[in-house]
Structure 1
Amino acid sequence: MSFLRLPIIICFIYTSFGFSQNPEPDKTKQPNIIFILTDDLGYGDLGIFFQNQRKITYGTAKPNMQTPNLDAMAQEGMIFTQHYAAAPVCAPSRASLLSGLSQGHANVRDNQFDKALADNYTLGNVMQKSGYITAAIGKWGLQGDDRWSKNGNTWPAKPTKRGFDYFYGYMRHKDGHEHYPKEKLYRNVGQVWENDLDVTNALDKCYTADLWTAKAKQWITQQTGANDKPFFMYLAYDTPHAVLELPTQAYPKGGGLNGGLQWVGEPGNMINTASGIPDSWIHPDYADATYSPEGKIIPWPETYKRYATAVRRIDSAVGDLIQLLKDLNIDDNTLVIFTSDNGPSRESYLPGNFIENTPDFFESFGPFDGIKRDVLEGGIRMPLIARWPNHIPKNAINDKPSISYDWLPTFTELVGFPAPANSDGTSLVPTLTNEGVQNPSHIYIEYYQNGKTPGYDEFIPEHRGRSRQNMQMIRLDNYVGLRYNITDPKSNFEIFNTPLDTHQAKNLAMDSDMDTLQNLFKEKVLQMRRVNKSAPRPYDSLHVPSIKLLNPKIGLEWLGFSGAYPWLPNLYQLKPETTGITTGLNDFDFSAVPEDYYVLKGFIRIPEDGQYTFNFSASEKALIRLHDAMLVDADFGYQPNAKKSEIMRLQKGFHPIYIYLQNKRRIQNPIQLQWYKSGMNEEPEPVIFYVE
């Protein structure tokens, strides 16, 4: 089994991606990037992923949706059949996507809606630092401070404070539950912001899916030819999530520059569908739709006509946007990504005379078990389509596992830089371009929700009504480790070969040849995360497992790199200029080596199980990992020589350590690292390092 040969720190495999040592990205080759994120859209909702095959298999016996524009996008690009959301609910999922951090490191976890996204690297500011103009349009929900405030001045983590030059959309999470912000038909929420200005009052009859699309088209058109900068857009729809409201009218004919949705810009008539009757139009393919189980003709309930119309509206919007790229002659130089934030939801937020929307009507979860809030595949496996003419092959299928926080390092590589050292993701550029070797993604998810998996007939009996509570999922190669309702922090993982067992019905954990993988899962989930007091877990009290060394000796390997980067980079994506071994941090004269950056790698020896405090300071930027866990992040916003202190529970034995360091000023001793064990002599001592 190949997983047994995985290196201990799989995220630091050395490869060369062709970056120069003094990168000067060719701006003429930097692609525009549009990242489209939908809300609660399931893997099974798209034709190309599931609905088309469902129609072939069942004909009229089961209801069926169509997504012709997304199917066409897939035919012109690549579908990802094993792509994961970082979490099974929107706030933590979006926080991980935007930050490039897993749920083992992201500051927004569980159900922490409206919590401030950490002031660190984001998709927005890494693209800004790479020379892009950036925009976030649609749903945000990570602004922080008082979640109920209508005063935008109190929000510390607005998009414009997290790397986006322009924002138009819903700032608060709760606003995304209403799709007519002015009329507020079903929910007394809905406040639209343009940067720091509340613009809600002018938005008569504006259905948000239409509003975000029209604004996106206007902004893209304004950027084209306006300056020499490429653009990055994060377009986050709030549909088909929450209240299943309908548009005012049919999608305008045509598309692109002169057709489809258009920004009018007149108060009361801001977009060209701001007329007619709000919440009134059902797509004609679904208006009189029926299905015939056992030969009996049954009309679709209106709830599902609404859901299908909402999905089709997004489909039409994507076709409209792609036509715009063609009309503006930027199609070949624009990468478009389409995906969702988590699995489908059974919420509908419609009044009592409507039946509840349940994902089993269309099998929105696809060939999987689980929905939103499950870490079963149906809650976290996402449809993803990537389109970039003449760069991504047509009709391509990628079946390699990946996860949403892979996109930040993917985009930085596309624009000519290695990823920030703090990123947990893996660049997907080799997969997208079919050039080079794709490194494995590091797929880890943790989540808590006090609920149960629904008991749909499509799910295996063991998953119906299953208590969620604390959940954990990790994937290595084809094998998924899964834990639900964790009460014993040392409990075994269920193990599934997910590509062969989409419903996760055959638990392989009882097989004796899985014992090694079981132990590996238990070790890895502790070695790739940090405790977060706002999201306590049953396994927080466990010590991070150590490893054994056969022939340890005092020393620390170092690699030196020259260059200029907008952040402390993941130096393992570069070729070192110089290498060597020193006996310790304070024994190495950094001023004698003319390099700008260093990676120092070795092992620390923990004398006994316990809680250890690490004291740290650096003259410039630095980052330290123990195993895959981020011990110290002193890059974004770090003030030189500022002292930081971090605590980790560590098992007796050796632990791999990786120190990333910037030293452009050629300081002789640019970093200080000391430690002590809690409850013993708490006088900090220099860390002693080992090599094998």
Structure 2
Amino acid sequence: MKSTWFAPLFLLLLTANAFAQGNLDPLPNVLLIVTDDMGYGDMSSQGAQGFSTPNLDKLAGQGTRFTSFYVAQPVCTASRAAFLSGCYPNRVSLQGALNHTSKNGIHPDEYLLPEMFKDLGYATAGMGKWHLGTVMEFWPTRNGFDEWFGTPYSNDNTKYHPVLADEMPPFPLYEGETVVELDPDQSQFTKRITEKAISFIERNKDRPFFLYLPQIMPHVPIFASEQFKGKTEHGLYGDVIEELDWSVGELMRTLDRLKLTDNTIVIFFSDNGPWPSYGEHAGDAGPFREGKLTTFEGGVRVPCIMRWPGHIPANRVCDEPIMSIDLLPTLTKIVGGQMPTKKIDGLDISEVLTTKDGKTPHEAYFFFGGTGLQAVRSGKWKLHFPHPYITVAGEPGKGGKPSNWGKNPAQSITQSGIEGIASRHGGRVEHIELSLFDLESDPGETKNLASQYPEVVERLSKLADPIRQDLGDSLTGVEGTGVREAGWAK
């Protein structure tokens, strides 16, 4: 069960009584902005070239830039399932990415972040890409959101798909549970999402709100509005990032205008790293190796900024490892909400957020590629278990087409698994052996130190054993005992 009627009612009565007696500060608003496929190096403060992100830089100056912030899996659906449920996506059986044919989604019994806020009396809204189920029983409005404006899956599952365009149905845009447009103008997505978000903030300025903005850009195909198109030296990708930066600025100015800044927690990050195969239409992973669809740092370490004046230190850079699965338990503790009754994997990281020397409560973080346990990080060390991965095939793509486009007319579009993904998106499959990297001295994961530090390899391998038994590992043939079913359409 998601929750009983008694628990949220009790919380509401308790909170109302505390407010009446003056025992509590006002509940903070939460604004969660998640871009799609933005690279670690796509902010000026992290080395962007050819375009600028002044609003993100200002936000970072007013809060903390987290330089070792991880998502739980380097692909869209899995990443979203993780931070909204507080679980590794393998626990809730949502690895990979759903598409327009998918009949599964987030299970109705999972207790998600928006449901926690809604049960506490918050106004809740989401605008952008959902990607946790196209069937209505898995829809945002069935999972804690009062309002929803956006799309059910990625914007390449459309007539713009580089390989499967002829097989794609019209792309639906929803308001609530109603399709309001088919194949909308994608160049207007960022602007429209921003306008809807501002309207929601204005309408709920006198009550606590949770606003979730999973932006559709810069996932390919990329589009910028006329106001931003052709504006940067970096081409269309730079234009798209500057428009997303503009959106952040508009939202921050709205909070300022309504005097909500001091009481609003703002969290900004990307759902995974950039998609290197798309070349000039993809982002920059900065100093890190590879990108989306891999568990190298370029795929799972993403840009992240958090601001909460008076609580999260301003003008700070924090390199302590934290992960998106920790957001649910942390925010739940901050607002005094109800924790899920089912097991989750995230832990409270409020000490890392609010204190200079706060340390993660996790001994290790684990990285799955699909159903395979591929890597573990503990402290400065990251151990990759032997596994296949996708890398760029030949020259990076151009003009919205993936790398090696058109050079292999026999290219399969029906092949499944990692080989099929590589084929459809211009990549090739390579393999990594058991490899240990010191991320402090070698953030690019280039020097395998496994033979030099066998004791570290042994320690990290032992840390992985329990999670392998719990969540399974297709690389070693282990079936997890703690895996829960996804939802399936009735």
Same fold (TM > 0.5):
yes
The structure with the greater share of residues assigned to helix is 2
Specify whether residues 244 and 188 from structure 1 end up closer, same or farther in structure 2 by C-alpha distance, changes over 3 A only: farther
Structure 1 residues 373 and 492: alpha-carbon distance in aligned structure 2, compared to 1, 3 A threshold: closer
Aligned to 2:268: 338
Does residue 433 (structure 1) correspond to residue 354 (structure 2)? The answer is yes
Q: TM-score, normalised by structure 1?
A: 0.55
* 2:366 is equivalent to residue 444 of structure 1: yes
Is structure 2 residue 28 aligned with structure 1 residue 31?
A: yes
Cα distance in 1, alignment partners of residues 198 and 159 from structure 2: 22
CA contact (8 A) 2:224 2:239 kept: yes
Q: Equivalent of 2:61, from 53, 72, 75?
A: 75
Deviations 1:244-265 (A, max 9, x none): 2221325xxxxxxxxxxxxxxx
- Structure 1 residues 632, 88: CA separation in 2 closer, same or farther (over 3 Å shift)? closer
Say if 1:40 and 1:205 are closer, same or farther in 2 by CA, change over 3 A.
closer
Mapped pair 1:499 → 2:489: no
Q: Which residue of 2 aligns with 1:324?
A: 254
1:136/1:172 Cα in 2 relative to 1: closer, same or farther (>3 Å)? same
Per-residue deviation, residues 21-69 of structure 1 (Å, max 9, x unmatched)? x975756432100100000000011111222xxxxxxxxxxx5321111
The alpha-carbon deviation at position 492 of structure 1 amounts to 7.2
Q: What does residue 122 of structure 2 align with?
A: 132
Higher Rg of the two aligned structures: 1
Q: Which residue of 2 aligns with 1:377?
A: 297
Match of 2:449 in 1: 508
Q: Deviations over 1:81-127 (max 9, x none)?
A: 00111111111111111111014413201344454012211111122
Q: Is the 8 A contact 1:135 1:232 kept in 2?
A: yes
Once residues 474 and 219 of structure 1 are traced to their aligned partners in structure 2, the CA distance between those partners, rounded to angstroms, is 40
Identity value in percent: 29
Greater RCO, CA 8 A, separation 6+: 2
Does 1:311 find its partner at 2:241?
Answer: yes
* Among 42, 45, 69, the residue aligned to 2:42: 45
Equivalent in the alignment of 2:333: 413
- Distance, in Å, in 2 between the alignment partners of 1:218 and 1:481 is 46
- Given residue 311 of structure 1, which amino acid in structure 2 is its aligned partner? I
Does the CA-based 8 Å contact 1:84-1:403 persist in structure 2? yes
Shift in Å, 1:471: 5.9
Distance across 2 between alignment mates of 1:319 and 1:85: 24
Q: Which amino acid letter does the alignment assign opposite residue 481 of structure 1?
A: L
Determine helix, strand or coil for the equivalent of 2:67.
Answer: strand
The one-character-per-residue Cα deviations of 1:614-653 (angstroms, maximum 9, x if unpaired) are xxxxxxxxxxxxxxx74899xxxxxxxxxxxxxxxxxxxx
Which residues in structure 2 correspond to 1:138-287 (within 5 Å)? 138-144=128-134, 154-174=135-155, 189-200=170-181, 207-225=188-206, 229-250=207-228, 281-283=229-231, 286=232
- Which structure is higher in strand share? 1
Deviation of residue 173 (structure 1)?
3.3
Structure 1 residues 33 and 176: CA distance shift in structure 2, 3 A: farther
Relative to 1, partners in 2 of residues 1:397 and 1:418: Cα closer, same or farther, differing over 3 Å? farther
The answer to whether the 8 Å contact 2:28/2:265 transfers is yes
Tell whether the 8 Å contact from 2:43 to 2:52 is kept in structure 1 after alignment: yes
**Alpha-carbon deviation of 1:417?**
4.3
Cα displacement string for residues 399-435 of structure 1 (whole angstroms, at most 9, x for unaligned residues): 1001111100111011024743622112221122228
Deviations 1:163-190 (A, max 9, x none): 21211110233567689xxxx9xx8643
Structure 1 unmatched runs, 5+: 1-19, 52-62, 145-153, 251-280, 290-303, 349-355, 450-469, 545-628, 634-692
* Partner SS, residue 87 of structure 2: coil
Compute the displacement of 1:328 (Å).
0.6
Q: Check 1:249–1:174 CA distance in 2 against 1; reply closer, same or farther (3 A cut).
A: closer
1:540 is displaced (CA, Å) by 3.0
Q: Determine the C-alpha separation between the residues in 1 that align with 2:37 and 2:204.
A: 30
Amino acid at match of 1:131: G
1:526 maps to what in 2?
465
Question: 1:357 aligned to 2:280?
Answer: yes
Contact kept in structure 2, 1:23 and 1:417, CA below 8 Å:
no
Q: Are residues 242 and 75 of structure 1, via their aligned partners in 2, closer, same or farther at CA, if it must alter by over 3 Å?
A: same
Q: How does 1:264-663 map to 2 (within 5 A)?
A: 281-283=229-231, 286=232, 289=233, 304-346=234-276, 356-357=279-280, 359=282, 364-417=284-337, 419-420=339-340, 422-434=343-355, 437-441=358-362, 442-448=364-370, 472-485=374-387, 493-511=434-452, 514-529=453-468, 537-541=474-478, 630=482
* Contact 1:409–1:418 (8 Å) recurs in 2: no
2: distance between equivalents of 1:66 and 1:213? 19
Cα distance between partner residues in 1 of 2:182 and 2:281: 34
- The Cα shift of 1:378 comes to 0.7
* Secondary structure at the counterpart of residue 325 of structure 1: helix
Q: 1:215 to 1:380 in 2, by over 3 A?
A: same
CA–CA distance in 1 between the matches of 2:483 and 2:237? 45
Residues 588-607 of structure 1: per-residue CA shift (max 9 Å, x gap)? xxxxxxxxxxxxxxxxxxxx
- Amino acid in structure 2 at the alignment position of 1:505: T
Answer yes or no: is the 8 Å Cα contact 1:103–1:445 preserved in 2. Answer: no
Unaligned runs of 5+ in 2: 1-10, 390-431, 486-490
Q: Is the 8 A contact 1:178 1:243 kept in 2?
A: no
Q: Work out the CA distance in 1 between the residues paired with 2:64 and 2:470.
A: 37
Contact 2:374–2:387 (8 Å) recurs in 1: no
Using the alignment, how far apart are the partners of 2:73 and 2:217 within structure 1?
18
Please say if residues 134 and 232 of structure 1, whose CA atoms lie closer than 8 Å, have aligned partners that are also in contact: yes
> Separation in 1 of the partners of 2:96 and 2:455?
30
**Superposition RMSD on alpha carbons, in Å?**
3.2
Cα separation, partners in 2 of 1:103 and 1:497, compared to 1, 3 Å: farther
CA distance in 2 between counterparts of 1:431 and 1:386 reads 11
CA separation of 1:531 and 1:174: change in aligned 2, threshold 3 A? farther
Q: Which residue of 2 aligns with 1:107?
A: 93
TM-superposed CA distance for 1:485, in Å, is 2.2
Q: Secondary structure at the match of 1:160?
A: helix
Separation in 2 of the partners of 1:75 and 1:176? 37
Cα separation, partners in 2 of 1:216 and 1:339, compared to 1, 3 Å? same
Distance in 2 (alpha carbons) for counterparts of 1:369 and 1:631: 30
Give per-residue Cα distances to partners, 1:352-411, cap 9 Å, x unaligned: xxxx5365xx7x010111111111101111110001122222101111001111100111
**8 Å CA contact 1:175, 1:190 repeated in 2:** no
For residues 518 and 413 of structure 1, the distance between their equivalents in structure 2, rounded to whole angstroms, comes to 35
Distance 1:516 1:202, change over 3 A: closer
